[in-house]
Chain A
Amino acid sequence: MGTVASRWLTCPMCGFEFDRDDTLCAHGCPLGALCNLLMCPNCEYEFPETPRAISWLRGLLGRKQPAASRLPAGVRPVTQLAAGEKGEVLCLGGRNGSRYSTLSAFGLVQGSEVTLVQQRPSCVIRIGETELALDLEIAEEILVQPRP
């Protein structure tokens, strides 16, 4: 996720997520490399890029950059359900066959209904009568469609 987050930016104004190369003023701006502002291609809000030190500090405090991917309406990582909210698993994320098969042995597969128990310090989800604790990193890759 880290490598993705460094290229993908989230506009602090409108929340639009975009590629660093898509920033509006990147081409032909006379300030060029001297300018350290980025402009959101959606709302044209200009903002400074988060310095490394700050992202590092955030990482240290356990605050992750928001997941940098564009998902269909409603779909979100299981960690972003509210505690007690249910969702249907759309994909287990990652390309990790052995993790897939481990999760499936606990009854977690595409189409399972999961309930979020808690997000931190480790994500705990319930699938039927099974409660499963997962690394946050794993849980963030599991995408669900919330259910009422």
Chain B
Amino acid sequence: MSAQTPLHHCLDDNINAICEMFGHSDDLSVRLLDLPENPMALLFIGSLVDRQIVDEFVVNPLLQSGLGDASLQNGLPVATSRFKALASLEEAAERLLQGDTLILADSPAKAYSADTPGGEQRPISEPASESVVRGPKDSFTETIQINIGLIRKRLYTTDLRVINLNIGNTSHTPITVIYLQGIAREDIVTEVQNRLKRIDIDGILESQYIEEIIEDPHGYTPFPTIFSTERPDRVCAGLLEGRVAILTGGTPFALIVPSVLPMFLYSNEDYYQRFDVATFLKVLRTVTFVLSFTMPGFYVMLLTFHQEMIPTMLLIALAGQREGVPFGIAVEVTIMELTFEILREAGIRLPKTIGIAVSIVGGLVLGQAAVSAGLIGPGTVITVSLTAICSFSTPSYGIAIASRLIRFVLLFLSAVFGAFGFFCGIIFLIIHINKLRSFGVPYMSPIVPFHLRDWKDILVRFPWWAMTTRPHETAAPSARVRMRGKNKWNGDPEGSRPT
């Protein structure tokens, strides 16, 4: 921090100095209390404090006490929970910016800060991006204190460690690192803090800033290697697996590290439903994720190079549909894919009411018209729309975007080189994913390197009483056991069956 300026000896000088620091900003309120023996001044930033608290717990007690010299020695009669004497003007300014009220006293000149947090906050609402049918309905807000509370209210343990950092040379954004002592790997916790402390940036407005700065160095990748979520239960589940959460002030999206590929394919609702249903949905979602980037390429490859594989009747039907279509199949699919991407982009940015109109025009009119005008074969429309639905069923937005990019690459490869190009693309993709690491943990982690125990949570979900271990790569070696696995109710509380 910069050099500390001590307080001046006179009240007016102090007020002036602080006002000077803020450049006489109009939202810095100065309230002079003309107490008979001891003139005082209250300073606060109107938009950051709660006026009611200031009036009720700071101004009122001060005025009523009448305050003489003696009471100043015993401390001010201020009724807020955090109250602190300040030594320098810089410290005073910092407290002001955190939403505190400064109390400046004269003869001797002193400064105190009382916490009067306020300002507008969004109430806790349902998560917009990850909705569930069954499960907690709250989500993070933009206020970091509320977010920490949401986590604390789920994990009532002293092992929960909360580390506050301020990052951003101008914004001083509060960043909080949260982990469970004894479950998280120490080396990962230190690594997270080291990487965060190295950040040198003017401001952080969203956790994506942090994500891009601290992710592992692996060259270019479209895949997110840090998981972001706005659901506190998801963060807590991560913490219980030994992961580390990073909360960022000003955004409801928390980061979870280290994160692996399967995390992005599963919804937290998989853990709130019956395990057999959840297993089915997990398999389904994995398949749709793969389809969401392979399908257009596969379709083009089949129709361009490997017609012999298509059953004869289907081939005749497809060929019949495409009679009179002027474009090659690859061009056709590319046009439709691009159209779909444009539609999606247009739909997101528009107000909801117009968005519906866009989807009607785009989906119905364009698709239907293109087919009936003979520009596009119906098979292509089916393929493209199925791909779109598959990509919507991916629970994580970050990885769905990645699959959008990969889709076009695979499309190109299979249009030019056929099956060989397509499979080369897939092989390249697998090498690439294998290359990725998230805080040292391989991205494909329980799949390769192979950890059999973690497969209870890959593709299938075992019932909760069987989930006896924590992930091999993320949990500390001493904390691999989640539970003893004897808590399955066997109908007999005493442990011995009556004969």
**Genuine A/B complex:** no
Interface residues of A (CB under 8 A from B): none
Interface residues of B (CB under 8 A from A): none
